[in-house]
A = this chain, B = another copy of it.
Amino acid sequence: MVELSTTKDGIPNQAEASDRVLQILSEAGRLFATKGYDGTSMRDIAVACGISKSLLYHHFSNKDEIYARVAVGSTLELYLFVRDRVPDGPPSQKIRAFMVATAEYFRRYRWAWIASTTAFWNDPDRHRQKERLTRRDRFENFLRGLIQEAIDAGEIRKVDVPMTGRLILSSLNWMHRWYNPNKSATPEQIADIFFDMVFNGLRSGDAAAPPPAEPPKSSRRKARQTSRS
């Protein structure tokens, strides 16, 4: 897979990317996410980086080139990042690992994630939009495969697989709208809580129906930590 190392601003550290390029991608991601593609100029990006426009043009020939790296680049590595973090084991635990890894990716590359998700409705480049959707499909199909595996293994009841995948992805994809990095729960802990809720259900053991089982130990510990935040 593509080797990713963390950078302070959350852009994947690709082989050819210098610190300067990473800084540009990170600041540009933040501007695209908050001001939109049209609302962001090369000048804005240079100012945000504290560099001259000519130095910015030394690295990127135009705004579109920067945008392509930010918006498409982030979904490019997501699949590989998550796939490599799903271990062998019971299928339902693979789904949990899928959710936690996606949340970790979100935490590490948050502004690129937001820029990419914001581009969905208003990316002027149709070809790029199609490419991004193809990558999203690969990611989503990977999850659907895990859900089907869990059904085949008898761990999950016979639910609608695409709909289950959408519920799980919704919980992760909407996180950028409310997640606050200054609060104590990490995205990974939140993903863990969501897995517990969706897998075990909200219904109480005191309700008419039979009680749901206790969630796995690690899940319970994290849920307790974060419920106090």
In chain A, residues 186-206, which have Cβ atoms closer than 8 Å to a Cβ of chain B? 190, 193-194, 197-206
B177 touches A120 (CB 8 A): yes
Which of the listed residues A37, A198, A206, A223 has the most CB atoms from chain B within 10 Å of its own CB?
A198
In chain A, residues 171-215, which have Cβ atoms closer than 8 Å to a Cβ of chain B? 171, 173-175, 177-178, 190, 193-194, 197-213
* Contacts known (A173-B174, A174-B170, A174-B174); A198 close to B200, Cβ less than 8 A: no
Interface residue tally for chain A (C-beta within 8 Å): 58
B167 touches A173 (CB 8 A): no
In chain A, residues 17-54, which have Cβ atoms closer than 8 Å to a Cβ of chain B? 33-39
* Contacts known (A160-B223, A163-B190, A212-B157); A202 close to B199, Cβ less than 8 A: yes
Please name all residues of chain B whose beta carbon is closer than 8 Å to the beta carbon of A199 when the two chains form the complex: 201-203
| Shortest 6 CB-CB contacts between residues of A and residues of B | A201-B201, A209-B213, A170-B174, A154-B206, A38-B38, A160-B227
